[in-house]
Structures are given as structure tokens and as C-alpha cells.
Chain A
């Protein structure tokens, strides 16, 4: 059964602009919230949080968050933390490359086949975590 909107897990990628790893973070997020777990997950625009939007701040403080960061600057993780959010899981796209030596993910504007493969793995990993978190809540 679908969770109500205000209890969904928030999957928050970094801005994901200008670098392929950022694009992967964004695409993995879309895959989770649109295809894999639309009933249990939702996303939130990081810029809103950074600009202090009250609704966004309340959301990260009251709902479990999974952050996904493309580059090592960890913008998503740091900004959710700074806003007082509850980070249940921090995912780094670069870590997903460890099992894909020599992978060519594509460009900042378009993912290649390797990029989509790794993105899908990240999405599956996050979706599993979302289900685990929802299962935990149901018990």
C-alpha cells in the first residue's frame, strides 16, 4: 500500500549539474521515486533547502532522508545535515564505480550504457533501503 505523502522517504540528490556523476545521482533518484518506489519515496529540490524554504526544512527534519552525492564535495549530505535533517543513508556515486573498473559513464549531459548500468545499480540499492526503512516502520 502506498505510504502517505508526508511519510515517504526523501531521496535527495546533489544538484547534479555539470558533472556526469551528478547526472547519475539525479537519474538514480528519478528511477527510485518515479519507477521503483513511487509509493514510498519522494524527492526534494536541494536548492530549496539551501535557500531555507520552510517546507523543505521541515520535510528533512521530520522524514527519513537518503542523500546521493555525485562528487566528493557531498553537497547533498552536507546541506541536509546543516538543515538538521535525519540522514538514514548517504550514497556516493563514486563508490558505485568500484565494481566497474574502466567504466565509461558518459558526459554531464548524457549517460552512456555504462552510466545507465551503474545508475540502475545505485537506484536498486536505494530502493532496497527505502523498502527496508518502510518495512521497519510497519513492524
Chain B
């Protein structure tokens, strides 16, 4: 029996992809004997699901509007797993069809997606990472003279080398912080790791070069590199423009997050570090 989850799907009604999200949610609940969260009722009456939400959460969105994810964010719910059906179908080269009532072929597809969502972390993670990593980030800022440093307060872990890891399920994307990219200035080169490479915590997962300096990107987490971001190798200034989302460097399948975490800073602690650094900042 897989671990029990609370499953929060979107309403899944008026686009063909919506009913698929709903079917997947129901299948997941059935398979793990979990708890289903009605999104509209949860929005109106969150206390109704207080007990159910003691379980780890899976969020299932149908279309790109991502109502379920928005709802989870608004209520400060942390999803352990996520599935954005439209995007996943696109990745798989599948179609949601036109009909609002899924045919047997689509139901079989839903069954496969539900099984994968509950399957081994590595496989499940591939289903939701793209959408989850693309979610908007809220920043705190530290201002020093004309410089403003952004620090994401939720969902990111940092090391004192000014590199971050954004963890989603069993995976993490890593990159450099806003402070580090401003300290380096305009980036001219970004070296990526090899997919498949095993990384220890604090290994160099790549490097960045600017007119001022070359700096290793020190991985906050251990794991196997499962993806790299070719966009930053081709256009390193993406890291200058958006270091925390589009500027990710590598994606790792995590090896031992709990141990790694003991040596990392959360947003609050990193904010304090940047405040301290900013006081001495000389661009």
C-alpha cells in the first residue's frame, strides 16, 4: 500500500483536461486510501478538511490556470507532489481530446498518470517538476545604496556560498543567488554539469564567469544530475535577470536531503546573511 495522501484537485470541469485531473485525483485517492479535498468546499470552509490535511498533500491541476495550486498557496499548504495535467500530456505527446467525459483510452491514460504520481519518487517527480518549479516566487529584499538583493523566503535552501536549491518532491534545482550574480556582475559564461553525474553536497555543480571573476556553483544538496538548463549556457545573462527561476543551472535527484538540510540556511537565515554581507558590499 503506498503512503496515504490528501489529494487536492482543481474543479476540473469545463475543459477536456479538467475531467482528466479529476479522474486522476480519484484514482490516486483510491489507490492510497487517501483523502479527497473538494477545492470549492475547501475554499469556503477550510476547517472541514483540517484532519485530512494532516496527511502529506498531492495537488492535481488540469489546465494552466492551476486553480488547485493557487488555492494551496493561498492557504499555505505545502504539496509533496504535484501534477499539472495539460503540461504533462504535452511532455508525453498525448492529447486530452475534446470531450468533457473521458473515453476509455483517456481513462487508461489517467490510470497510468495516477500510478506514476504515486510511484517511486524519481519517476513521480518527472511528472510535476516543470510546473512546480515554474511557480511564482515571493521575495524579501535587502537594500544597500542603489542595490536591491532579492531573497525567496519559501521553498528555497541556501548555502553560505550564495547558491540555492529549490526542492520539489524528490528533486531540487540549483543555481546562484541574486546577491552572487550582482557581486559577479554581467555573466559571460556558465558551465553546466554532465547529466548523470553524482554530486556530493558542496561539490561544484558548474561555474559562472563574468568580466570580474570566475566562481564555482557549489551545490547545496547531494544527488544525481538529471537535467541541466541549456538556456543559461547559451544566454548566461538569464541568471542576471532571473537567478531564482529561469536561471536554474541543474536539476538533481536528491540523495539525502534530510542530512543536507542540517548544513543549509532557510530563507530567513539567508536573509540575515545577506543583510550582514550587504553592509560591507562593494560592487
Contacts and interface: CB of A to CB of B under 8 A. Distances in A.
A29 B13 CA distance: 10
Nearest to B63: A45
B44 A17 contact: no
A97 interface: no
Interface in A16-65: 16-18, 22, 26, 29-30, 33-34, 43-48, 50-51, 53
A17 B65 contact: no
Contacts of A18: 36, 38
Contacts of B100: 30, 33-34, 43
A104 interface: no
B11 A48 contact: yes
A81 interface: no
B247 interface: no
Interface in A55-102: 73, 75-76, 78-79
How large, as a class, is the contact surface on chain B?
20 to 34
Nearest to B44: A75
Contacts of A22: 38
A7 interface: no
Contacts of B70: 51
B228 interface: no
Contacts of B18: 45
Contacts of B44: 50, 73, 75, 78-79
B43 A17 contact: no
A48 B65 contact: yes
B4 to A, nearest CB: 16
A18 B14 CA distance: 18
Contact of B30 (A14, A30, A79, A109): A109
B40 A47 contact: yes
B60 to A, nearest CB: 11
Contacts of B30: 109
A49 to B, nearest CB: 9
A115 interface: no
Nearest to A75: B40
Nearest to A78: B44
Contacts of B12: 17, 45
A103 interface: no
Interface string B21-56: 010011000100000101111011100000000000
A15 B25 CA distance: 13
A75 B41 contact: yes
Contacts of B65: 48, 51, 53
A108 interface: yes
A109 B14 CA distance: 18
B153 interface: no
B50 to A, nearest CB: 16
Contacts of B227: none
Contact of B71 (A17, A46, A51, A79): A51
A15 B67 contact: no
A14 B44 CA distance: 12
A73 B13 contact: no
Given A17-B26, A51-B71, A45 B11 contact: yes
23 contacts: A14-B40, A15-B13, A15-B38, A15-B41, A17-B36, A18-B38, A30-B101, A44-B14, A45-B12, A45-B15, A45-B67, A46-B13, A46-B40, A47-B67, A48-B11, A50-B11, A50-B39, A50-B43, A73-B41, A73-B45, A108-B26, A108-B36, A109-B30
Interface of A: 13-18, 22, 26, 29-30, 33-34, 43-48, 50-51, 53, 73, 75-76, 78-79, 108-109
Interface of B: 9-15, 18, 22, 25-26, 30, 36, 38-41, 43-45, 65, 67-68, 70-71, 99-101
Query: Which 5 residue pairs across A and B have the least CB separation, nearest first?
Result: A47-B11, A47-B67, A15-B40, A45-B13, A18-B36
